[in-house]
Chain A
Amino acid sequence: MVFARAKITLEDNCFEEEPGAITLRYVGPNPSKIYKKVHELIKSVFRVTDSDVQETDYSWGKTSTGEKFKVEWWMHKDMDLFSYIYVRFRLDGEGNDKTGHAKLEIRGLLRSEYPQDTVWQRSLFYEMIRTFWHRVFYHKKREEFAEECRHSEILVMKHLKDFLKQLKGDVQSSVPENGRKDLRDLESKPQAKQPASGNDNEKHGE
């Protein structure tokens, strides 16, 4: 980010068409566990530190039926001296360990800033050179940054979908004991011979 009092700012959506946001909705158990996962994904996918992620809103309520939450993060990542991506994550939901729902919305912005502090930076000659340089070289660079922003957003969504499958899987593993017994009976039949890894999973499940 440019450290200047006065600056020109160019801002674009990472996803160019409106709405520049992508949304994921989830209905299932343990929606509150998504909170921690999303925060980890922001850091790992965008490769940023904790202080690059600002939690601007955090509301958490405990009720008799479960937990209700609403969280908003803004993530800032410097791409080079002039550009950074600025992504908003909005997560809200409610539920308990049996049922619930959650929604995650991601909206990414690409910003470029040129300093305008000194007399030289405000001069016509400087502006002509800057504009020329921007059109010839930097425009393409910004498109690459926007593409990286889009890729990262989609990657967060993909990882999150995998995690949501696991969340739903937790419920499937907690079926009643006689249900598990039926399953074991079925698996012990010759045609249901499982590979070694499958047996390992079963041991872990028990």
Chain B
Amino acid sequence: MKYSGPDPWGVAEFLNANLKSFFHVSSSKVNNYRINWDVTGDPISFYARWWATKEVSRFTVLRFVFKLVGEKGKVNNEGNFSLSVWAKVITTFGGWGPLLNPVWTLYSYLFYNRVRRKYIEQCRNYILTFGNLVKEHFNVESTGIPTSRGF
């Protein structure tokens, strides 16, 4: 998502304020793990990254990574930003010995793959909805709130 106009750094403040409540997770599941802020010139350039983890079942978590790059003017606070989002559905089966691997293969083939497909869809919906919230925050054109079978 790319935006140019007033208050581009507002997106970082928006992410910090809303990630926890949006994903319904505790503080330990969200991290703003990098902020670069360069004030040597005009415009000020900034770079920030976040991750958020949402547990959806005993074996699966959704992992979201946000990357923000942008710049803003010192005088008029106008500028631009580019916000990228990556999301992954991570399934881990721990403690299963090699003998039980075929059991897991059968279980995933018959049942869990279908469940994972739902999680993938749910993951997509999270990104779509969050993108919409960012668009509404900056008062640019957004689409309706997603309603789909996976959410």
Contact = CB atoms under 8 A, between A and B. Distances in A.
Interface of A: 3, 32-33, 35-36, 39-40, 49-52, 54-55, 57-63, 67, 69
Contacts, number: 67
Contacts of A51: 121, 124-125, 128, 146, 148, 150-151
Given A3-B113, A51-B128, A60 B140 contact: yes
A55 B146 contact: no
Given A50-B125, A51-B128, A67-B140, A58 B146 contact: no
Contact of B131 (A52, A58, A63): A58
Contact of A49 (B80, B131, B141, B148): B148
Nearest to B5: A62
Contacts of A59: 1-3
A40 B131 CA distance: 16
A42 to B, nearest CB: 10
Interface of B: 1-6, 80, 113, 117, 121, 124-125, 128, 131, 135, 138, 140-144, 146-151
Nearest to B148: A49
Contacts of A49: 146-150
Contacts of B1: 58-59
B146 A61 contact: no
Contact of B128 (A35, A55, A60): A55
- Give the 3 A-B CB pairs with smallest separation, nearest first: A50-B146, A62-B5, A49-B148
Given A36-B143, A61-B80, A54 B3 contact: no
A69 B146 contact: no
20 contacts: A3-B113, A3-B117, A32-B141, A35-B141, A40-B144, A49-B146, A50-B125, A50-B143, A51-B150, A54-B124, A58-B1, A58-B2, A59-B1, A59-B3, A60-B2, A61-B4, A62-B140, A63-B4, A63-B5, A69-B140
